[in-house]
Chains A and B, each alone.
Chain A
């Protein structure tokens, strides 16, 4: 096994082009487990931790461009105000040790349906910036994640950054697990209000082959908010609408039975998470005006 350690992004892309089998490593929270347990022996490992370009973030045309190597700890500390949904999800990742190393770029690369950082990206219509020596392309996150642990990258490509709009209304995230730390989600839900778009975007995690947008639930609640003028009045949500929203989230999940939980439990839990996160976010939206 050979360790490739570029100092610049250009060098990293050239090395990936020359060694398409190389496995990238940043925080190591996924790849090191595979190495420690003899599950993989790639011919090369491409260490991205010395590439300074990956660890920055900046506003860009009203959105945020966040380098693939920004850790969860930094996302929480530096971007918690602009990306509250992603920050809440980041706080549920592993432990301090894991959050100090793990990155959203890694979550995207691994593309696990249980990646805690993914539902908030889906509920923000985030765009993934992928690069190679051939050039740069931008892929909507829902097209980037193509299946369980599969993504849309070619062998010579690396993840440079993701692009996401800062929140303009409350965002929530909730995750079911056996304890409050160090758990892989049994099920999770990101729910973002987008006041400018007059939209509610909800994405299910860990209950399908990929994160799943609950599009019927989104359309239903957007219709209620519009027809009853609730964005403007900031009045309470009708109880029946909250209940129906939960039922539609529950129906949108495509879970399986596995060691962490049954499909039936996951459907049920997601209905509860749908109602809760909607109520939490809407209560925050109402209080913002007060």
Chain B
């Protein structure tokens, strides 16, 4: 089948997508967007997290056909256009929140979603928001540091001064 979907702001078209294929496979294998990672294929690990119409989802659990005509934002669409990193990405690099890097795209998208909904999360709120993203390298402490740092930097200037 042919899939029409807006990805990272650009209307895209993919041919030859199998009807039973996941959005994750369509992104990786048909739309040349390998940032979203394929690990568990059952919603357990969060490495394939993307936004679907603004909602954080596991793209492995979305049937590609369900994304027809909808808007998807992947980890490739998180950084500002024109280059550079988003503050969430920069914070992961600086705090050592990235080791092997396989879980990182999902954690970037999930952290981005958290901070958009809740700019100053408490530690329990960070843990709850990232509970669906598994990392087997870092032990999570550096990831928590990254989210705290990104929150600090993304907070409105007046709040930082206070």
| A94 in contact with B42 given A28-B62, A49-B66 (CB within 8 Å) | no
CB of B132 within 8 A of CB of A94, answer: yes
Q: Does B77 contact A (CB under 8 A)?
A: no
CB of B57 within 8 A of CB of A97, answer: yes
CB of A1 within 8 A of CB of B19, answer: yes
Q: Does B97 contact A (CB under 8 A)?
A: no
Q: Does B56 contact A (CB under 8 A)?
A: yes
A151-196, CB < 8 A from B: 180-182
Where chain A touches its partner, the secondary structure class is loop
Nearest Cβ distance between residue B140 and chain A, in whole angstroms?
12
In whole angstroms, what is the CA distance A100 to B49 when docked? 12
In whole angstroms, what is the CA distance A182 to B40 when docked? 13
**In the complex, which residues of chain A have a beta carbon less than 8 angstroms from the beta carbon of B20?**
1, 35, 41, 45
Nearest Cβ distance between residue B81 and chain A, in whole angstroms?
26
Nearest Cβ distance between residue B141 and chain A, in whole angstroms?
17
Q: How many residues of B contact A (CB 8 A)?
A: 29
Q: How large is the interface on A (under 10, 10 to 19, 20 to 34, 35 or more residues)?
A: 20 to 34
Pair count A-B, CB < 8 A = 89
In whole angstroms, what is the CA distance A98 to B56 when docked? 9
In whole angstroms, what is the CA distance A49 to B133 when docked? 25
**In the complex, which residues of chain A have a beta carbon less than 8 angstroms from the beta carbon of B46?**
95, 97
**Contact mask for chain A residues 101-116; partner B; CB cutoff 8 A; 1 contact, 0 none:** 1000000000000000
Binding site for A on B (CB under 8 A): 1, 18-20, 22, 41-44, 46, 49, 55-58, 60-63, 65-66, 68, 110, 113, 128-129, 131-133
**In the complex, which residues of chain B have a beta carbon less than 8 angstroms from the beta carbon of A96?**
56, 110, 113, 128-129, 131-132
In whole angstroms, what is the CA distance A78 to B66 when docked? 25
In whole angstroms, what is the CA distance A41 to B19 when docked? 11
**In the complex, which residues of chain A have a beta carbon less than 8 angstroms from the beta carbon of B110?**
96-97
In whole angstroms, what is the CA distance A134 to B55 when docked? 36
**In the complex, which residues of chain A have a beta carbon less than 8 angstroms from the beta carbon of B66?**
25, 28, 47, 49
A1-59, CB < 8 A from B: 1-3, 5, 25, 27-29, 32-33, 35-37, 41, 45, 47, 49
